Amino acid sequence: MPYFITDSADGCDGWATVKDDGEVMGCHGSKQGAIDQALAIAQAEGSTFEGERSIRELPDNYRPATSEDVPEGRACGNCVFYNEDRINEDGLRVWCERWVDWVRGDHYCNAWQPDDDDEDRDVDLTVPDYIREAAAQGLAYHADGLSGDGVVERTLREARLMADGQISEDKVVRVSAWAARHRADLDADGARPGEDGYPTPGAVAHLLWGIPTGSRYSDAVAWFDRKSEQVKADRSSSMEVTPVTPRSKGSDVEFRSFTGELRQEGDGNTFVGYAAVFNSPSEPLPFIERIAPGAFAKSLRSRKRDIRLYVNHDSNMVLASRNSGTLRLLEDEVGLRVEADLPDTTAGRDIRELMRTGVVDKMSFGFQVERRGDKWSDDGMERTLTAVRLFEVSIVTGFPAYEATQAAVRSLEKLSERTGMAVDELSEALDLLAEGAELPADKASLLMDAIKQSSPEPEPEPVSLLGLKAKQTDLLAKKVW
């Protein structure tokens, strides 16, 4: 672990030698005394001495979030500066990027700022001091001619802004991607502080991009990655969310359906049910999936994104919405409980009648898995969802999405085996037909040949063919890829 010196360590009147995690190794009456100890310890452990660190003390009002004068929800654990990627050895504290110190998640201070999913606001891009210092150091090395020939003026201009504490959303996203591509550059000799030949042009480039090459490297990369994700999420949530239908290819929106109790209350216009049940094993997807309690907590806390109740994930069949107050969602001991006031519309009246007769017994929800929001078993056969971004809930009147998927996939595979035609070709042709698009001649011929080869009957007339395709596409319209 790297070592530093500081003149602002708790318990020391003068200079102190400290570990990277803030532990004080010794107090000294002079700066040189602290340097000597840091060098000696680093040499003995095969670590590094990385100079002076300026530590700002936590504000005087840092205190338990349960205090009477702390607004509800304002705990460090809900703060944008709370870096969960860095946990103290005691397991109780996490690094605060605003105060450059360790804090408890259940405490509060006047640096508190909401995370982007908690309030409707732009992503906080307050640049941490160590990133500002890296950019300033990179500019100094560039002025000394140590940056090589590949540095462009835009990088220098943005580095000057970063050193001044300014950074754009676009730059945050680009730094995150750039760091991932250039990680290997720091494996070269002289790329790290303390190595012979430091700094290499690759090290200077990292500094100009705001990434320290010493002990704060991982902190900087984690900050840029996290802010990049927040920027992307903020951009996408600023638009009207149109749920992707289960049959769309390439979407990372997933759908899950559950069979359970659905009932009407009062005058029959209030709908109650569960869109998800906790700790209940799914059907094979092909893996087994469970939803952990608390998986929806973040989405339910957020008021930034509206959540709506649909019929069969169809955004043209809206029954209720959270923003209007007609949809109420909460987690209880069972799962994700849904309460809704059904509208006096065709869809609403149909659902009321289907519920009255007991025809409807399934609900579904559309979601994306949050970053690090799922856990897999060692064999990859079981998945537990721990944090998901909820987009919508639906009353399901047909096949659950994943059942339809399995049926469609199995049908295509069997048809492919019998005809020798590629599954992708069959799927593409059937997708076009399901969308009502005009089929190219080669695709139409492909479908005719497939049906002819898979049926013992004589070649069907065009009208019969359309009837058969209608049945096929009824399943395919519900598939998830």
CA distance 210 to 204: 10
CA distance 179 to 146: 20
Mean pLDDT of 183-193: 89
Residue 249 has pLDDT above 60, yes or no: no
Taking the complete model, does pTM exceed 0.75, yes or no?
no
- Predicted confidence band at 454 (pLDDT cuts at 50, 70, 90)? low
326-367 confidence digits (pLDDT tens) = 999 998 888 888 998 888 888 888 888 888 777 777 888 888
Weakest mean pLDDT among 148-152, 185-189, 476-480 = 476-480
- Predicted confidence band at 205 (pLDDT cuts at 50, 70, 90)? very high
**Pair of tokens at residue 414:** 């069997």
The 8-class DSSP code of residue 188 comes to: S
Residue 38 has pLDDT above 90, yes or no: no
Mean pLDDT of 151-168: 86
Q: How many CA atoms lie within 13 A of 252 on its CB side?
A: 6
Tell me the residue length of the chain: 481
Return phi, psi of residue 163, to 5°.
-60, -25
Give the percent of the chain with pLDDT over 90: 13
Q: Which of 202-211, 251-260, 358-367 has the highest mean pLDDT?
A: 202-211
Residue 378 has pLDDT above 50, yes or no: yes
The confidence score (pLDDT) of residue 247 equals 32
388-397 confidence digits (pLDDT tens) = 888 889 888 7
Residue 154 CB partners (closer than 8 Å, separation 6+):
none
The confidence score (pLDDT) of residue 91 equals 74
Residue 215 has pLDDT above 70, yes or no: yes
